[in-house]
Amino acid sequence: MDKILTNVNRAERLRKSTQTQYDLIVIGGGITGAGIALDATLRGIKTLLIEKKDFASGTSSKSTKLIHGGLRYLKQFEFGIVRETGLERAVAHNNIPHLVHPEKMLLPIVKKGSFSKWSASLAISVYDRLAAVREKDRKKVLSRSEALESEPILNPQLLKSAIAYSEYRTDDARLTIETIKAACREGAEAFNYLELDSFLYHNEKIVGVKCLDHTTKGFLLFKCTQVVSAAGPWVDKLRDIDGSKKGDTLHLTKGVHIVVPHEKLPVKSAVYFDAFDSRMLFAIPRGKITYIGTSDTNFTKDMNRILCTKKDAQYIIDKVNRMFEMPDLKLEDIISTWAGLRPLISAEGKSNSELSRKDEIFESPSNLISIAGGKLTGFRKMAERVVDLIIEKNDTFPEKESLTKKYKIHSDSFVNYEAYQSLKSSLTEKYKSRGISSYDVWYLLTTFGKHAISIIENALLSDLPLEQALMQEEIQYSIKFESSLEPDDYFNRRSGRIYFDIASVKNNLDFILSQFKDAFSWDQEKLTASKAACQSLIDDVSVIKD
Ligand code: FAD
């Protein structure tokens, strides 16, 4: 069972890990930690990754899910970030084609908006050039009537023209999990539900970590040469534990997204639109739904329960109702939400949206290296920088260059995007007479890659109703090969169903729970507690609180 990400034999794997001398321990199973674990392992560095809850349960499942250069950062003259993340888009698309999809964006130019046609056109030309966008995908300026033809629900009273340009869309949690799976395939070890409690020191230098195993409530010690904290919004907490929180600190801001059925906001493609308060929002169609976000407000509350409040949701709804000409969207139309924290590096006198999205590395006297800030899109380059640094600091680590630029993250990767599209068409055709919809094929293929085929084939042999048969296969896969331990791991971060198809979770909750009960031999008490936890999570995302 080595070389896969699983909890099936967790106790034995943990025992082995406590007896291993690691080169590197990475704290935090978000995209930053995942990228570092993969880069380091590919360079021959013996790596352990630990995550206190589930992989991607922090910011890395709460983003706008775009692989983008960040057009708006041009306004802040952050050319470096735009160029780096812009160039990384094509790298991510090539390295995991079924998870990073080209997405046409529309930027409406509106009366009293942030951009004039000329400023937007110039900015996007710079953007396209910085990101080396191919000629055929470069921006197009649309007249008012062309813009209305391409997006008929835009408010004609406001619209002056529009610019069409290219970005990529992903699933942040799946990208994180696939990256951790790849690190494990290359020899890393990774555990979720294992929380750093404190550091172990020798001569005032960190030589290991003490962790709380949330599955047993016991403490375990792990030894290593180097620790990297990729704890996202929690980076300062860990610097505090190490007694090294000095200089720049994190400033946390909350960003929310709301989800409505696609027919309530039937955008044909993603729209990047003005909020008329110096912010810009995205409305992004995805399967059965459209999601819209995001806000940017200061956050100082409980970091483990971040909610979209009525005020957050109303802010987004008001902006939608101004930009689109449709029957007004209402709070009651919202079927799901998510809210995440941006770990920004604080700077006096700057507003939230002006704070840099650049990543920053902190080095402590005890040899703790922490990385925070940055973007999902830039994760590979961030990882490369961190691993370069730890190699420089540790003479015993192999001196190898990063190998991730041309590394296929999925074990059974599509050679390119055309291969993904071609399989999607042939599977849709093959299974349509057997009750598998084109949505099912698209969802399974974009979520699980080519493994979608065995999920479908096995489900078609089952006596269960088709929806449950498919879910059963997904759940079993997520338990055996993706370390799911709780139903929420599956319906949230392995499948995204809680956001993009919440009805399927609500309607099948008992079935999902029964799958976990059987797989992990839960007793009645554990089943009851898990059901209550799931209901409370579903309530948190779907019932908007004050
Ligand atoms: P996290 O994902 O938060 O991971 C840190 C992990 O550390 C967490 O899982 C946490 O549980 C774990 N941890 C904390 N303490 C401990 C401990 N003691 N022991 C063990 N584990 C611990 N970027 C883009 O490129 N595109 C976008 O569209 C985009 N949209 C965004 C929208 C919003 C609203 C927000 C908030 C951010 C967005 N970003 C986007 C930025 C991007 O999401 C983040 O840069 C990225 O997800 C940060 O990942 P991370 O791994 O650093 O942090």
Cα separation values, 345 from 72, 296, 299, 318, 383, Å: 18, 14, 14, 30, 18
- Tens-digit pLDDT profile for residues 358-374: 788 999 999 999 999 88
Residue 338 lies in a domain: yes
Spatial distance between the Cα atoms of 358 and 80, rounded to a whole number of angstroms: 9
Residues with CB under 6 A from ligand 1: 27-33, 50-53, 57-60, 62-66, 68, 195-196, 230-234, 255, 294, 340-342, 374-377
CA of 192 to the centre of ligand 1 (A): 15
* C-beta neighbour count of 336 within 10 angstroms: 22
- Tens-digit pLDDT profile for residues 348-359: 566 666 566 678
Q: Are residues 437 and 534 in the same domain?
A: yes
Query: In the prediction, which pLDDT does 114 show?
Result: 86
CA of 60 to the centre of ligand 1 (A): 4
- Tens-digit pLDDT profile for residues 194-212: 999 999 999 999 999 999 9
Spatial distance between the Cα atoms of 231 and 51, rounded to a whole number of angstroms: 9
Q: Are residues 316 and 428 in the same domain?
A: no
Q: What DSSP letter does each residue of 133-167 carry, written as one string?
A: --GGGS-EEE-HHHHHHHSTTB-TTTEEEEEEEEE
Query: In the prediction, which pLDDT does 81 show?
Result: 76
Phi then psi dihedrals of residue 189, to 5 deg: -120, 145
| Percentage, residues of the chain above pLDDT 90 | 83
Residue 467: alpha-carbon gap to chain centroid: 25
Q: Which of 81, 172, 371, 376 to mutate to test the pocket of ligand 1 (most atoms within 8 A of CB)?
A: 376
CA of 34 to the centre of ligand 1 (A): 11
Q: Are residues 516 and 486 in the same domain?
A: yes
Q: Which of 66, 91, 234, 237 to mutate to test the pocket of ligand 1 (most atoms within 8 A of CB)?
A: 234
344: confidence class by pLDDT, cuts 50, 70, 90? confident
Q: Atom 43 in ligand 1: which residue has the minimum CA distance?
A: 63
Q: Are residues 221 and 308 in the same domain?
A: no
Do residues 91 and 306 touch, judged by C-beta distance below 8 A? Answer: no
**Which residue range is the domain that position 287 belongs to?**
257-345
Measured torsion, CA atoms of residues 482, 484, 488, 493, in degrees rounded to the nearest 10 = -20
Residue 95 lies in a domain: no
Q: Is the pLDDT of residue 48 over 80?
A: yes
Helix (H) or strand (E) holding 482: helix 466-482
Residue 476 lies in a domain: yes
Residue 75 lies in a domain: no
Domain CATH number, residue 206: 3.50.50.60
Residue 66's DSSP bridge partners are: 169
Amino acid at 39: D
Q: Atom 52 in ligand 1: which residue has the minimum CA distance?
A: 232
Query: In the prediction, which pLDDT does 353 show?
Result: 61
SS3 of 59-107: HHHCCCCEECCCHHHHHHCCHHHHHHHHHHHHHHHHHCCCCCEEEEEEE
Q: Are residues 389 and 531 in the same domain?
A: no
Q: Are residues 422 and 528 in the same domain?
A: yes
Q: Are residues 455 and 384 in the same domain?
A: no
Query: In the prediction, which pLDDT does 354 show?
Result: 58
- Tens-digit pLDDT profile for residues 256-302: 999 999 999 999 999 999 999 989 999 999 999 999 999 999 988 88
């929690």: which residue's tokens?
Answer: 234
Residue 51 in tokens? 């995550």
Residue 161 lies in a domain: no
Spatial distance between the Cα atoms of 145 and 528, rounded to a whole number of angstroms: 57
Q: Which atom of ligand 1 is least distant from the CA of 34?
A: 51
CA of 336 to the centre of ligand 1 (A): 20
Q: Greater confidence, 318 or 326? A: 318
Spatial distance between the Cα atoms of 531 and 452, rounded to a whole number of angstroms: 28
Residue 97 lies in a domain: no
Query: In the prediction, which pLDDT does 136 show?
Result: 84
Q: Are residues 235 and 299 in the same domain?
A: no
- Picking from 16, 129, 22, the residue whose alpha carbon sits closest to that of residue 71 is 129
Q: Atom 37 in ligand 1: which residue has the minimum CA distance?
A: 63
- The DSSP 8-state label assigned to residue 415 in this structure reads S
Domain CATH number, residue 321: 3.30.9.10
Residue 76 lies in a domain: no
Query: In the prediction, which pLDDT does 133 show?
Result: 84
Q: Are residues 478 and 393 in the same domain?
A: no
CA of 372 to the centre of ligand 1 (A): 9
Measured torsion, CA atoms of residues 326, 328, 504, 175, in degrees rounded to the nearest 10 = 70
Residue 205 lies in a domain: yes
Query: In the prediction, which pLDDT does 349 show?
Result: 61
Query: In the prediction, which pLDDT does 359 show?
Result: 86
Q: Are residues 325 and 367 in the same domain?
A: no
Q: Is the pLDDT of residue 1 over 60?
A: no
Helix (H) or strand (E) holding 258: strand 250-261
Spatial distance between the Cα atoms of 1 and 89, rounded to a whole number of angstroms: 33
Q: Are residues 188 and 241 in the same domain?
A: yes
How many folded domains does the chain comprise? 3
- Tens-digit pLDDT profile for residues 448-470: 999 999 999 999 999 999 999 99
Query: In the prediction, which pLDDT does 352 show?
Result: 62
Average pLDDT over the chain reads 94
Q: Which atom of ligand 1 is least distant from the CA of 375?
A: 45
Q: Which of 54, 59, 292 to mutate to test the pocket of ligand 1 (most atoms within 8 A of CB)?
A: 59
Q: Is the pLDDT of residue 430 over 80?
A: yes
132-144 mean pLDDT: 89
Domain CATH number, residue 530: 1.10.8.870
Q: Are residues 233 and 368 in the same domain?
A: yes
- Tens-digit pLDDT profile for residues 160-185: 999 999 999 999 999 999 999 999 99
Spatial distance between the Cα atoms of 536 and 266, rounded to a whole number of angstroms: 30
